[in-house]
């Protein structure tokens, strides 16, 4: 399982249509229109990096109105219990 977060800018009149098309793609779990420098944030969950490659370089490119994307691949989901392990780091 691989998680990716994508920060997206769109043409001004297409925030909601781009968002809805994104949300319809398999593997796109959540899409939010957001305040700030970006227009949309998409949270992606897919089986492996090959599926993510297909989504990022092929499926997204079919959506009209996207002007900029910056994708981040999650290395790891961090939980509160990870603090314990942390103390080993400096030793």
The residues that touch a second copy, with contacts defined as CB under 8 A, are 2-5, 12-17, 19-24, 30-41, 43, 49-50, 52-53, 56-58, 60-62, 66, 69-83, 85-86, 89-90
CB of 39 to a second copy, least distance (A): 8
CB of 42 to a second copy, least distance (A): 9
Distance CA 15, CA 41 (A): 11
Q: Give the C-alpha distances (Å, rounded to integers) separating 43 from 24, 37, 77.
A: 13, 17, 13
User: Which SS3 state, helix, strand or coil, does residue 52 take?
Assistant: helix
CB of 18 to a second copy, least distance (A): 9
């Amino acid at each position: 399982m691989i998680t990716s977060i994508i920060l997206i800018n769109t043409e001004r009149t297409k925030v909601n249509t781009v968002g809805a098309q994104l949300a319809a793609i398999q593997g796109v779990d959540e899409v939010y229109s957001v305040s700030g420098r970006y227009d949309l944030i998409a949270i992606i969950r897919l089986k492996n990096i090959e599926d993510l490659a297909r989504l990022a370089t092929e499926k997204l490119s079919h959506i009209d109105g996207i002007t900029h994307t910056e994708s981040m691949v999650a290395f790891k989901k961090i939980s509160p219990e990870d603090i314990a392990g942390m103390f080993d780091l400096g030793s």
